[in-house]
Structure 1
Amino acid sequence: MQINDLRLFIEVAELGSFTKVALQRNTVQSHISRQISDFEKTCGGALFRRTGRGVVLTEFGEHVQQRVRGWLKDSDELFSDIRQTSKLPMGEVRIGVLPSAAHPLMTHIFKRLHHEYPKIKLNIREGQGSELDALLDTGAVDMAILFRYEKPTGSDETLLSTANTYLVSCPGLSLTYPDTVDFKRLEGLPLVLPRRPSHWRSILDETAKSKGFSLLAEVEADSLRVQKEIIAANQHMYALLGPFSVDDELRTGKLQAAKVIAPDLKRYVTLAHPKQGHFTQASRIVSQLIKETVGGWKGQLISLTGPGSAGTSR
C-alpha cells in the first residue's frame, strides 16, 4: 500500500466518479477502476458501491476514509515540518477559489511565486461557496477565497474586498444604461438566476419577497459563463452578478451593467483558513501575497491599471 493509493482513494471519494478522477489525472477510467479494485483487495473489502451516476462509499469505505484522512493529514504535516528545515520555502499550497476570483488574481500570485518562491507550488481548485466551505472543513484545501454576506469577525478569515451587485444585460438596454437601478425594477424581469439551493439565491428571493414580489427565473444556472452567454445572446434577459465576474465583458462592450440599489446587496470577499489545521511556511507566504496583491489593487480582485481591467467600478 503506497501513499498515492490512499490519495487516489480520497480523490474518488470526494468526486464520486472514476471518470471525473480519470479526467483530472489525464488518464482513462479503466486505469482508475483497476487501481481502486486493487486497493479494495488490499483493504479486504469493498470501499465503494457503484451507482448509475458514479460511486459512493460503503459503510466500510466511510470507516476507511476517516482513518486515511487523519493519516494523510499527519503525514502532510510531517513532510511539511521536514521541508521547513530548508532555507528555501517549498511545498504545495492548495487553494479553493470562486470562479470569478480565479483570474487575474491567481495568475498574478503564480507569477510572483514563480519569481520569488519557485519551490512553492499552487494547487488551485474552483468551486461554489458551500463546496469551498466543505473543502475547508475537511482540510482538503489550505485556504479559500469566498463570498460572505456579512463581514468576517473570526481570526481565521480576512476581508479582502467588498463587492456590489449589478443588473447585467446585453448592450443597448435602457434599464442597465444608468449607473444604478432600484431593486424594485426587477419585478417581472426575465432573469438568469443561480439554482436552488443556494445561499445567494435565497438572499435574492427574500429581498424580492420583502419588496412584495417574486423574481422571475426564466433560466437557472450555476455557471457564470452560461449566465453571461445567455444574457449576451438574448436582448430580453438579465442576470444579477458581481463586478469581478463581468469586468472583461464590460471593458469590451459585450455586456452592460447598472449597480443594484435599495438595497445595495453587498457581498464580502474573504480569505479563509481552516479553523483547525497546520499552517505551513508556504501557506503563510501565499496568504500574505494574496492580501498584499488585493491591497495593492485598492481592495479589488482585478488590477485597476493592468490588462483586463475596465478601470471603473462598473
Structure 2
Amino acid sequence: MSDPLKIQWDLNRLLIFVTVAKNGSLKSAATTLGMPQPAISRQIARLEIECKGRLFDRTGRGMSLTELGARMLPQIERVLSESEALTNQITATGGLPFGDVRIAALPSLYLTLMVPVFFLMRKRFPGIRLHFFEGSAGQIDQWLVTGHVDIGLPYRYGATMISDGEPLISADSCLVGPAGDKLTLNPSVHFSKLDGLPLILPSAPSGVRSTLNKLARKNMVTLNVIVEADSTQLQKAIVEKGGAYTVLPKLAIASELKGGQLQAARIIEPVIERTIILATTSAHPPSYAARSVAQAIREVAASSEVLQVSCH
C-alpha cells in the first residue's frame, strides 16, 4: 500500500517556482519561460498546496518569497541541479542526445538560421525538443547569465567584444531605405550621409545604438532619431512606407530586398561590422543535447548562402 503522504514532485513545477523567485514577478517569469501568466499562477498554487503553505507574498511590486519559500528555494535548486546532472549522464552514455534545449536568438535570425536548425535537428536528433526565444542582444546576454537559456546568439560590435563567445557570422551594417530611394540606390554610402537623416533606431543601450552614437560623435555627424523601436519588423515597416531610414544587416532584410520592398547600401568610412556570436550559459555545464544543437547551428551558419550576401 502506497504512503498517502508521499508527494510526487513535478520537476517542471519546481523550475517554475525557481524562475518566479529569481525574476520577482509573474510577468518576467512568463517572458523567461514562454508561458502565460495564468498557467504559472496555477502551478505555483499547486506547489503551495503540496508544501502546505504560501511560498510567495503577492505585492504591488511583484512576488517576494515568504519565509517558507526562502527555505525551500536552495533545496529545490539542488534537486533541479541533480536532476539535470543525472539527465546529462544518461544522455552522454546512451548514444543519441535527448531533452530540452533553450535557444535565444535575434529576431533577424529566425528565417535564415532558426528554421533550418529546427528541421536539421528533427531529422538528426528527434529526441531533442527545442525552445526558441527572440530578444535583443541585451536580453539574450541576461538570459545566458541567469541560465534561462542554454544557447544565445547575440550581436557584438568590433573585434575586441567577442571574447565571451564563438564568432559565428559577420555582417556589415547597411543604411536601409524604401524602394526607389536615391540615397540607398548605390552599393555603398558614406557614414557622413547619415547626418540629419530621419532615423528609426533601437532605444539605448542597444549595441547598434551605442556604436552609432560613438561613431557620430567621432565623425561630427548628427543622428536625427525621430522614433525609437526595438522591433525589427516595425523598423522595416516604417522604412518601407518612407517614414524614416534605419541601420540593419543584410540578413535582417533579405526577403524584403528580394521582394523589392526595401533598398540597402553598405555603410562605409567607416564600415560598421556586426558579429553574431554563439554563446552558452555559464550557469551550468552544457548538456549533450545543447552541445549537439550548438554544432547544428555552426553547420547551418556555415552553409547558408543568405547569411553571406552583401547589402545589395
Tell whether the 8 Å contact from 1:176 to 1:258 is kept in structure 2 after alignment.
yes
Which residue is equivalent to 2:3?
A: none
Equivalent residue runs for 1:158-169 within 5 Å: 158-169=166-177
1:257 maps to 264
Where 2:109 maps in the other structure, the secondary structure is: helix
Task: Check whether the contact 2:26–2:40 (CA below 8 A) recurs between aligned residues.
Answer: no
Shift of the 229–15 alpha-carbon distance from structure 1 to 2, 3 Å rule, reads farther
Quote how far apart the aligned CAs of 1:95 are: 1.1
Match of residue 21, structure 1, among 25, 30, 36 = 30
8 A Cα contact 1:161 1:268, kept in partner: yes
Partners in 2 of 1:20 and 1:283 — Cα distance? 22
1:56-96 residue CA offsets vs partner (Å, 9 max, x unmatched): 43475677656544542332122221233322222222111
Are the counterparts in 2 of residues 18 and 32 from structure 1 also a CA contact under 8 Å? Answer: no
Deviates more, 1:2-11 or 1:186-195: 2-11
- Inter-CA distance 236–85: structure 2 relative to 1 (3 Å threshold): closer
5 Å-filtered alignment, 1:52-71, equals 55-58=62-65, 68-71=76-79
Deviating more after overlay: 144-153 vs 220-229: 144-153
Query: Which amino acid counterpart does residue 17 of structure 1 have in structure 2?
Result: L
* 1:277 CA displacement: 2.6
Unpaired stretches in structure 1, ≥5 consecutive residues: 305-310
Contact 1:109 1:289 in 2 (8 A): yes
Match of 1:272 in 2: 279
Local SS of the residue matching 1:89? coil
The alignment-based identity, stated in percent, is 32
Equivalent position of 2:6 in the other structure: none
Distance of 2:263 and 2:184 partners within structure 1: 6
In the other structure, the counterpart of 2:158 is 150
Q: Do the aligned residues in 2 keep the contact of 1:188 with 1:215 (CA within 8 Å)?
A: yes
TM-score, with structure 2 as normaliser: 0.84
Q: Determine which of 64, 79, 82 is the counterpart of 1:74.
A: 82
1:178 and 2:179 aligned: no
Instruction: Give the Cα separation in 2 of the matches to 1:169 and 1:64.
Output: 55
Alignment partner of 1:33 is 2:37: no
CA distance in 1, matches of 2:75, 2:158: 35
Aligned-CA RMSD value:
2.8
Q: Which residue of 1 aligns with 2:219?
A: 211
In 1, are the aligned partners of 2:106 and 2:137 still within 8 Å (CA)?
Answer: yes
**Does the aligned pair in 1 maintain the 2:169–2:307 contact within 8 Å?**
no
Q: Do the aligned partners of 1:249 and 1:255 also contact (CA within 8 Å) in 2?
A: yes
Residues 15 and 21 in structure 1, CA contact (< 8 A), matched pair in contact too: no
Which segment is superposed worse, 281-290 or 35-44? 35-44
Q: 1:231 and 2:239 equivalent?
A: yes
Superposed displacement of residue 175, structure 1: 0.6
Residue 249 to residue 74, structure 1, CA distance change in 2 (3 Å): same
Tell me: CA distance 1:90–1:4, structure 2 relative to 1, closer, same or farther (3 Å). Answer: closer
* 8 Å CA contact retained: 2:169, 2:277: yes
* 2:299 is the counterpart of 1:292: yes
Match of 1:50 among 59, 64, 83: 59
Instruction: Verify: 1:116 aligned to 2:111, yes or no.
Output: no
Choose which of 133, 150, 172 in structure 2 pairs with 1:125: 133
- TM-aligned CA distance change 1:125 to 1:24, over 3 Å: closer
Secondary structure, in 3 states, of the residue corresponding to 2:297?
Answer: helix
Q: Does 1:135 align with 2:136?
A: no
Amino acid at match of 1:196: A
Aligned equivalents of 1:199, 1:97: Cα separation in 2: 15
Whole-angstrom CA distance in 2 between matches of 1:74 and 1:292: 31
Quote how far apart the aligned CAs of 1:108 are.
0.9
User: Against the structure 1 CA distance between its residues 56 and 207, is the aligned structure 2 distance closer, same or farther, given a 3 Å change threshold?
Assistant: farther
Deviation at 1:142, TM superposition (A): 1.4
TM-score by length of 1: 0.84
Query: 2:209, 2:75 → 1: CA distance?
Result: 36
Q: AA paired with 1:112?
A: L
Distance, in Å, in 2 between the alignment partners of 1:115 and 1:32 is 32
Supply the AA of the counterpart residue of 2:115: T
Is 1:281 matched up with 2:285?
Answer: no
Call closer, same or farther: CA 1:90–1:221 in 2, change over 3 Å. same
